[in-house]
Chains A and B, each alone.
Chain A
Amino acid sequence: MSEAVIKTEKLTKRFGDFIAANEITFEVDKGEIFGFLGANGAGKTTAMRMLCGLSTPSSGKATIAGFDVYKQTEQIKKSIGYMSQKFSLYEDLTVLENIKFFGGIYGLTNQQIKTKSEELINHLGLQQEAKKLVVSLPLGWKQKLSFSAAILHEPKIVFLDEPTGGVDPVTRRQFWDLIYDAADRGVTIFVTTHYMDEAEYCNRISIMVDGVIKALDTPRNLKDTFHANNMDEVFYELARGAKRGE
């Protein structure tokens, strides 16, 4: 039986008169790769901030890994990992120092950090780079390392905000291999992207337009519903009427 690790019901966020996220309702199962798509300004970031326990909703309900987004934000933060292209690693620290830092932040013991560091460095093939500053790594390596750091503490859910922006097509695919591996281990993946081919790699997708979830289904069903050949066409069909910009 599937087990929902993200549950929202009519989750809403207002800023004055502006309704950034309007009664969004959905569930994400354990181990699922869930694509959270939408036009610029649709309210994705606002919704994600509520789910991460960083922003208190105006109304509605949501639980993340069983914890309430109003009252249990600290427990939520311990149960999730977060990575975005904008915020990832500390460039002036070495690879090892970054792992140690994130391990510490997420509350791992020194022994756990030591074991995890070795595992991670071997897994990513970063033995030669372990003592180099992150600034000297190619972008693709940074992204992979950053993702690995975000799941170092084995969170129930990892939130990825446009994790593959600007990355070359081969590295982008290697990154998705890491995502699949994590999902196979039972980590739930919540990911935003502007690459529509990546939307196809998700188990299910939601498309948000002007604060509302306009569609939510598997890529296959969405394409059938909208008589589209690919996700690009589905997205275009739904988002072209959007009123809001970023």
Chain B
Amino acid sequence: MEAVVVKNLVKNYGKDKIAVDDVSFSVKPGEIFGLIGPDGAGKTSIFRVLTTLLLPDGGSAIVDGSDVVRDYKQIRNKVGYMPGKFSLYQDLSVEENLNFFATVFDTTVEANYHLIKDIYVQLEPFKTRRAGKLSGGMKQKLALCCALIHKPVVLFLDEPTTGVDPVSRKEFWEMLKQLKAQNITIVVSTPYMDEANMCDKIALIQSGKLLSVDTPENIIRSYPEQLYAVKAGNMHRLLKILRDYDQVMNSYAFGEFAHVSFRNPEVNLNEVTTYLKQQGMEDIELEKTAVTIEDSFIKLL
């Protein structure tokens, strides 16, 4: 049985605002599934339907065999949800929050401590501190513990790493890998394209529509053209020149390089280099480069 099955899901806010537009995907048990897309893509609406906090306007969604409309009470018992906005009780201590969530789900912290142990040991020195007084990283860890304490079958994490620095982001994904090892299915959303590679399967989403659903490897493999990385002294000028060059199909900045694809698959690189030199570029580097999820996303937009 699939852990999550979403079929032709639709969610509207008023008649003009279609937040989720005919979205279908499924998640296998034990998978880390990533919803990757910018703000306003519809990620949160999908999460809220799957956690039974919003009713869909069309289509269906099933979580661990239960229907989000008909069986909403069962779903609430077996999913964990960490919303994008910090939603724990700010005036309760770390310990009190955790006990509260365990009690609400009719269990104890001890019963499922093994699930949160690795994360909670980092919080333990602050267990009497009020949640509102924790640092950003600590709040995030506590929220994850509270979402896990009833041993959910599926864990929903809505943008857990937004606004978080790269070091803390890496740590967070390490924690998710450990949870995966304990057989928890994880559905996670993020606006950071580089996090896609940490997922088993991803859905790229923009304006309520899925652009692609597959493994990160397959999405990258299906990129239609050979991609090149170009560098020359002045990036801003280089981008302008590439944009106006008739051989170029697509070009855009990508870190210290510009990524370029050419209309002609048999493009003569010497010719390109000569052209760039004629346009006054110096220290030109031009070579084949590997496609990333961000390149795929840009291509699909």
Contact = CB atoms under 8 A, between A and B. Distances in A.
A73 B208 CA distance: 45
B8 interface: no
A197 to B, nearest CB: 4
Contacts of A184: 236
Contacts of B38: 139-140, 166-169, 171
Interface string B146-190: 000000000000000011111110100000000000000000000
Contacts of B135: 40-41, 244-246
Given A166-B39, A245-B135, A245-B136, A194 B253 contact: no
Nearest to B139: A246
B167 A245 contact: no
A36 B243 CA distance: 29
Interface stretch (B51-59, B95-103, B264-272, B293-301): B293-301
A168 B190 CA distance: 11
A117 B166 CA distance: 38
B7 to A, nearest CB: 26
Interface string B20-54: 00000000000000000111110000000000000
Given A139-B38, A173-B252, A245-B137, A39 B168 contact: yes
A239 interface: yes
Contacts, number: 91
Interface stretch (A7-15, A19-27, A104-112, A229-237): A229-237
Interface residues of B, number: 34
Interface string A105-137: 000000000000000000000000000000000
B163 A41 contact: no
B164 to A, nearest CB: 6
A214 interface: no
Nearest to B137: A245
Given A40-B136, A41-B135, A168-B206, A231 B162 contact: no
B165 A194 contact: yes
B170 A169 contact: no
Contact of A38 (B165, B191, B194): B165
Contacts of A168: 37-38, 41, 206, 297, 301
Given A197-B254, A231-B255, A167 B170 contact: no
B106 interface: no
B241 interface: no
A242 B254 CA distance: 28
Given A138-B40, A167-B38, A180-B236, A40 B168 contact: yes
**Mostly helix, strand, loop or mixed at chain B's interface?**
mixed
A235 B301 CA distance: 30
B255 to A, nearest CB: 4
A246 B137 contact: yes
A212 B158 CA distance: 32
A204 to B, nearest CB: 14
B294 A169 contact: yes
Nearest to B165: A39
Contacts of A38: 165
B165 A239 contact: yes
A165 B39 CA distance: 9
B115 interface: no
A165 B170 CA distance: 18
Q: Which of A138, A169, A194, A236 has the most CB of B within 10 A?
A: A169
B235 interface: yes
B298 A194 contact: no
Interface in B193-242: 193-194, 206, 235-236, 239
Interface of B: 37-41, 135-138, 162-168, 170, 191-194, 206, 235-236, 239, 252-256, 294, 297-298, 301
Given A168-B206, A245-B138, A246-B135, 11 more contacts: A139-B40, A166-B39, A169-B297, A170-B298, A184-B236, A201-B253, A230-B256, A235-B165, A244-B135, A245-B136, A245-B137
